[in-house]
Structure 1
Amino acid sequence: MDGAPRFALVAGEASGDLLAGLLLGGLRGRWPGLQSAGIGGPRMQAQGFQPWWPHEKLAVSGYVEVLRHYRELVGIRRQLRDRLLADPPDLFIGVDAPDFNLDLELQLRDRGVRTAHFVCPSIWAWRPERIEKIRRACGHVLCIFPFEPDLLRSHGVPATYVGHPLANVIPAEPDQAAARASLGLARDGEVVAILPGSRAAEVQRLAGIFFEAAVLLRRQRPGVRFIVPAIPRLRARIEAAAAYAGLDPDVLTIVDGRSHDVLAACDLTLIASGTATLEAALYQRPMVISYRVNAITHALMRRKQLQPWVGLPNILCGEFVVPELLQHDATPQALARALLDWLEAPGRMAAVRTRFRALHGELRRDTATLATHAIEEVIQS
C-alpha cells in the first residue's frame, strides 16, 4: 500500500490504551500519514488517534457488572458498527476487550471489513469455547505470548507472535535509585507499592483491604513506606480509603499515574490481578496478587477456569512463583502476612527477580516491526 491507510481501533481501559498506543507508534513509523479513530484513551491520542468514545466506557469487568451496563455497551457497539460500515476503514483492530470487540469484529468481517485482533483472548486459561468465534471474527491475531500462535493456527486462525510491547518499554535493568529520586522517596528503606486497580469498581472493592493490610504490615515493619500510583479520577477515593483504614499519611505517598516509576522504585507490591501484574514482573518485583469480584461473577468464572493460576506471572511461569489471595482469602490479615513473608525472605525475593528477568527476555521482541509487517500483509491480502 503506497498511500496512508485508515485504521479503526477499539481499546478498553488503561491497559488497552497503553498497548494500542504502542501499536500505533509502530504503525506511524511505517505510515506517517495514517489516520486512526474509534474508542481509545490518551496514549492513543498522543499518536494522533481520534476518539469517538473514551476508553473508560469499556472499563467494565465481570458478568454481573457487564449486565448493569449492557444497554449502554450494546448501544455504543451498534453506533460504532454502523459508522464503520458506512465508511469502512482499511482495517479494524480490536485491542483486547474481547467481550466487546469479538462481536463487533464478527459483524464487520461478515460485511467485508478486514479485521485483526491484538492480544489473543486467554482461551488457554478459561472460556475455550471462544475459539470458534475468534476463527470467524478475526482475520489475523497478534499474539503477545509465544505459545499462542500454534494454538490458534491449530484451529484455523492466522496468528503472529509479536512479543509483549511492555517488554520493550520496561528496561531490562530498572534503575530503582533514579525512580525513587524522581518520586521524592528516600534512597534507602523498604517501599511497598499498592496498586488496587484502574477501575472504579476495583478500587471500591480492593483499596480498603489493601490499606488495612498496610496498617497491619507497618506494625511488624515500622520502617516500611507505601506508595500508590492513582488514576487521577480515582485519587479522591483512594485517599478516602487510606484515611478510613487509618494509614498514617506520613508514610504514604500517592502520585497521579506514573505506575512504571512506582514499580521501579518499590521493593514489593500488593497488586490487583490484571495486566499490572505482568508490568510488575517485568520490573522484576516480588508481589502479592489479589482480587475480589461479585460472588456470582466469581462462581461463573471458576467454572470456566482451566488453570490453577489467575495472575499472569504465575500463568507464564507455570507455577505459583508469587502468592494469589483471591475473593474470601483476600483479607487484610492474610495480605499483610504474605507481604511480610516476602520481606523476611530476601533470598526468595532475589530468586523471583531472577525468574522474572528471564521472563522479560522471553517476551522481548521488536513488537512494533513484527506487528506492522503482519498488519501490512492483512491489508494487502
Structure 2
Amino acid sequence: MASNPPRVAMVAGETSGDLLAGLLLDGLRAQWPGVASVGIGGPRMQERGFDAWWPSERLAVHGYSIELVRRLLGILKMRKALRARLLADRPDVFIGVDAPDFNLGLEADLRAAGVKTVHFVCPSIWAWRAHRVEKIRAAADHVLCIFPFEPALLARHGIAATYVGHPLASVIPMQPDRLAARALLGLAPQDEVLAILPGSRSAEVAYIAKPFFRAAALISKARPAIKMVVPAVPAQRARIEQIARECGVLDRLTIVTGQSHQVLAACDCTLIASGTATLEAALFKRPMVIGYHMHPISWRLMRGKQLQPWVGLPNILCQEFVVPELLQDAATPEALAAAVQQWLDAPTQDPGRIARLEQRFTALHEQLQRDTSRLAADALQKILA
C-alpha cells in the first residue's frame, strides 16, 4: 500500500460513467484509504467521498449534431474552467471515465502539461470512429479496458492498456434471483413481465419512448395479463409518464424510480434502448429486443462511422445477432411488438431458444467478470510509481 495517498481528478458523464467511476473509487480507496478525488461526477461517486465540482448530468448529450449544438457552449465553458482549475492545482493523476468527446481533449491538454492521464473505458474504435485512435494516443498515458480484446488492439497503435474486466459483471450475480426481484416489485412468480427501458437521457426518452410505448400498447392488447414495468431515472420520470399518457398506456405500465437491475432480474423479456443497459440485460441473461431512434441527421452521421453490422453490445461481443436490433426507421411499434412477442412465445414455439441465449450470455458474463476495482487500482499504482 502506498504511504502517501494520491490526489485524483476524475470526470464521469451520465449514469453509466458514474457507476463505473464509483466502482473504480472503491479500488482506489482500498489501495489508498486517504485518497482525495475531485472533478465532475454523480451520486455514486459522491457517496464514496468524491468532491463534485460539477454534476455528471451536465455532460449528458445525445447524438452527433443538433442535440449537441444546443449544449455545446455550456459544456466547452465548463471544460475550460475545469482545465484551468486542474492546471492551477495539479492532481497526481487525471482519470477520464468514458465521455470521450469531453475527456480526450482535456486529457491531451493535461498530459502535455505533465499531468499523468488515464482513460477508463476504451472508446469503441472497433465499432465506429476508428480515427479516435490518434486522439487516444495523444491523450492517455494508459487505458483501462473493459473488454478483453481491447489491449491488443491498442498495443498495435502503441498505446499502453490493461484489461480490468467489466465492473458490471461483478455487480450483477451470475444467477440472478428472479423470484426475489419480483417480490420486491410486487410481481407474482407466474406473471408474464416485460421490462421497458427507453434510455436515461432526455433526448433518448424524447425519441425512443414513444415507439416503445406504442409497441407496449400493441403487446398489451394481444396479452391483456402481461405486466409492463419501466425503470425511470428520477430526472426523466415525469417526461416518461407524460409520453406514456399520450400513448394511452400510462394505466398499463408500472413506472418505478431507478431499480433497473431489479426490473431486469424480474422480467421475462426487455424492450431496451441501445447502450450500456443492453449489456446489463445480457448479464441478467434476459431475452431482449434492442431499439433505437435519434435525430435523422445524427443517424446518418453515425451510420457513416459504423464499422460492424451490430450496434447492440451483446451482439457486438458475441459477434452475431443473438438478439434482434430494430433501429431508426425499422423501430416501428409494430416491428418492436412483434419481436418482443416472439421472445414471449418462445417457451412454447421454440423451447430451446431462450436456453441457448442464456448459455451465450453466461459465457459472456464469465469472460467479463474480473476484480475490476483491484486491477484498476494496481494499474494506477504502477503509473504513479
Match of 2:356 among 346, 351, 360: 351
Identify the residue that residue 41 of structure 2 maps to in structure 1.
40
Single out whichever of 123-132 and 346-355 deviates more from structure 2.
346-355
Letter in 1 for 2:46: Q
Identify the residue that residue 157 of structure 1 maps to in structure 2.
159
- The Cα offsets for residues 272-331 of structure 1, whole Å up to 9 and x where unpaired, read as 000000000000001000111111111111111000000000000000000010101111
Give the secondary-structure state (helix, strand or coil) at the position aligned to 2:39: strand
Letter in 1 for 2:185: L
Letter in 1 for 2:381: E
Identify the residue that residue 113 of structure 2 maps to in structure 1.
111
Identify the residue that residue 261 of structure 1 maps to in structure 2.
262
Distance apart, 1:61 and its partner CA: 2.2
Give the secondary-structure state (helix, strand or coil) at the position aligned to 1:281: helix
- Determine if the alignment matches structure 1 residue 13 to structure 2 residue 18: no
- The Cα offsets for residues 157-197 of structure 1, whole Å up to 9 and x where unpaired, read as 00000000000000000000000001111121210000000
- The Cα offsets for residues 23-55 of structure 1, whole Å up to 9 and x where unpaired, read as 101110111111001001000001100111111
Identify the residue that residue 372 of structure 2 maps to in structure 1.
367
Identify the residue that residue 61 of structure 2 maps to in structure 1.
60
What stretches of structure 1 move > 3 A for 4+ residues in a row?
Answer: none
Q: Partners in 1 of 2:15 and 2:44 — Cα distance? A: 9
Give the secondary-structure state (helix, strand or coil) at the position aligned to 1:360: helix
- Determine if the alignment matches structure 1 residue 102 to structure 2 residue 104: yes
Q: Partners in 1 of 2:88 and 2:378 — Cα distance? A: 27
Which 5+ residue runs of structure 1 have no aligned equivalent?
A: none
- The Cα offsets for residues 332-361 of structure 1, whole Å up to 9 and x where unpaired, read as 111000001111112312221121111100
Q: Partners in 2 of 1:34 and 1:81 — Cα distance? A: 21
Q: Partners in 1 of 2:117 and 2:237 — Cα distance? A: 37
Q: Partners in 2 of 1:355 and 1:51 — Cα distance? A: 39
Q: Partners in 1 of 2:354 and 2:214 — Cα distance? A: 23
Match of 1:178 among 177, 180, 188: 180
Spell out the pairing of 1:226-375 with structure 2 (5 A cutoff). 226-247=228-249, 249=251, 251-346=252-347, 347=351, 348-375=353-380
Letter in 2 for 1:328: D
Give the % identical residues: 64
Letter in 1 for 2:276: T
Letter in 2 for 1:314: N
Q: Partners in 2 of 1:296 and 1:205 — Cα distance? A: 13
Give the secondary-structure state (helix, strand or coil) at the position aligned to 1:345: helix
Identify the residue that residue 167 of structure 1 maps to in structure 2.
169
Match of 1:121 among 114, 120, 123: 123
User: Residues 2 and 131 from structure 1, CA distance in 2 versus in 1: closer, same or farther, beyond 3 angstroms?
Assistant: same
Spell out the pairing of 1:186-205 with structure 2 (5 A cutoff). 186-205=188-207
TM-score by length of 2: 0.97
TM-score by length of 1: 0.98
Distance apart, 1:375 and its partner CA: 0.6
Distance apart, 1:13 and its partner CA: 0.4
